[in-house]
Structure 1
């Protein structure tokens, strides 16, 4: 009996899922910025991830028995980076546009191999360094600074710090992936992210909103569900998609954010748009592995 090949949309389902995920991810920046009209940043992020952890917990309820200490440690470590990444990003959205925030956040992709080099001494390849240099030039253009003067405002600076935290999140997920139960850790990391944000509120002088708002409830629940969806799609799809290909797909996230921001009336200067495009290009370049680099690596292994 002749076997017919599977339809292309089935064989490419993980890639298509990641593409759809980047569309939703890109749209969250504008929604977060709107939600900050009703809440302080840390309370907002705490509610967002509380909703996400409840949603994922209900979905994985049967898999949550027998949580081990290593699951808790992994969840706490990853949750801390999620809290740091998203809270700084949310604080930054108070003073910069959603489009600019998305492009600055995308810097986490070329930062991952650089941090791997600094932490684990894993040497990045040539294209990674090319990507880092292009991302830095794009960053200068995006933030409106000249080459002779680097003067980042508070929103830009704290968003860039958030991109470092998100890069660390990706590194920790890879580090723990083969050592823990994925379903348990997904719930734990979202829960810890929420708890850490709430715990940080009195330290930084934040308070819960004085008035109850159904709009805030709707936004945080909606973003929580979106965060749960994004997390589950990433965990599932990256089992089948090469990390380099996944990173290139993720480069579409700031593009979608820029499109949504444009529709909403945001107008970045032309030089800033070029800078944002260069950051996306740098993300793609940083993940490429030309044939001459592969052959060089093979010959090094054989020698």
Structure 2
């Protein structure tokens, strides 16, 4: 797979996630966030497991214990991102959640310093400030206007950034995208259901009434889109993957407007534009400067 094809796969994944925001938000009227996350990823794990076993048969050996530990770490990051996003959707809009979640494109390079000791490009720091200003406008030009759900969504973006970093790191080392996907889904499901048992009531009626949303996000948003993400990340860099995946913010806002009738004030749209501009700059500026430097070296 070429890098262009990989990025198109990631773009498809982002479009699926954007549609999933609507299903995630509407389901919160009938079922708690922990049980919703647990059930969606249990379905995703069951759907991917047969393909992971076929992958193992093709490779000729089971994953090593070190590989499984790495896959489980990705699952922990996935759980943290999924549950904070779901809790946030209880008190914020699909539009706000999708754009604030997209901040992971800024967090990915920053976390790469802390986790892998890789210094980011200088563009990260002005882009981070641009993103913060975008959040300020998205909140109606008042920090006090940020809802609890908005803060959960920002926290969610940090966890998604960790999941993207870890997924890219471990899939490149193991070349087992389906085993990684099945493991991270299973770990996430177990952690979420454990939280549900401790914190939330569950009834058959609540599951039945939200079954369409659970099946969509379980089979499509989780089972298909996350597998596409892991497959695509084998052939591109984590920062570049983040920029294509961040387009879910646009898809989320689009589906929120079309299906739920959501809208923003003028300052909110400006804020969304600044956040998306930050997402583009964090990837485009380093690439443009890199190509210019290469051209100068070739002429020299």
* Aligned residue-pair number: 287
Q: Which residue of 2 aligns with 1:40?
A: 32
Unaligned runs of 5+ in 1: 1-9
2:232, 2:72 → 1: CA distance? 23
Query: Aligned residue for 1:161?
Result: 155
2:106 corresponds in structure 1 to: 110
Stretch moving more, 49-58 or 152-161: 152-161
CA deviation vs aligned residue, 1:196-249 (integer Å, no higher than 9, x gap): 00112244x212136254342222122111111112212222333454443332
CA positional deviation for 1:256:
0.9
User: Which has the greater radius of gyration?
Assistant: 1
Which residue does the alignment assign to 2:253? Answer: 258
Q: CA deviation at 1:45?
A: 0.5
C-alpha separation between the residues in 1 aligned to 2:192 and 2:131?
30
Q: How many Å separate the matches in 1 of 2:122 and 2:17?
A: 29
**Structure-to-structure mapping, 1:214-253, within 5 angstroms:** 214-226=208-220, 227-253=222-248
Secondary structure in structure 2 of the residue aligned to 1:211: helix
For residues 29 and 106 of structure 1, what CA distance do their matches in structure 2 show? Answer: 12
- In structure 2, the CA distance between the partners of 1:281 and 1:258, relative to structure 1 (3 Å rule), is same
Report the Cα distance in structure 1 between the residues aligned to 2:123 and 2:194, rounded to whole angstroms: 41
How far apart are the structure 1 equivalents of 2:53 and 2:13?
Answer: 23
CA distance in 1, matches of 2:18, 2:116: 31
Question: How is 1:150-299 mapped onto 2 (pairs within 5 angstroms)?
Answer: 152-180=146-174, 181-203=176-198, 205-209=199-203, 211=205, 213-226=207-220, 227-263=222-258, 264-288=260-284, 289=286, 291-292=288-289
Q: In 2, distance between residues paired with 1:139 and 1:48?
A: 29
Residue correspondence of structure 1 range 42-57 to structure 2 within 5 A: 42-57=34-49
- Which has the larger helix fraction? 2
CA distance in 1, matches of 2:159, 2:206: 31
Secondary structure of the 1:96 match is coil
Moved more, 48-57 or 174-183: 174-183
- Does structure 1 conserve the Cα–Cα contact (< 8 Å) formed by 2:168 and 2:230? no
TM-score of the superposition, structure 2-length normalised? 0.86
TM-score, scaled to structure 1: 0.86
Paired position in structure 2 for 1:84:
80
Q: Deviations over 1:252-302 (max 9, x none)?
A: 211111111111210122211211111111011011215556677999xxx
Q: 1:46 touches 1:195 (CA, 8 Å); kept in 2?
A: yes
* 8 Å CA contact 2:18, 2:252 repeated in 1: yes
Aligned counterpart in structure 1 of residue 119 of structure 2, from 104, 117, 123: 123
Single out whichever of 30-39 and 177-186 deviates more from structure 2: 177-186
- TM superposition shift of 1:153: 2.6
RMSD: 2.5
Distance 2:88 2:167 in 1: 25
Gap change, CA 1:72 and 1:274, over 3 Å in 2? same
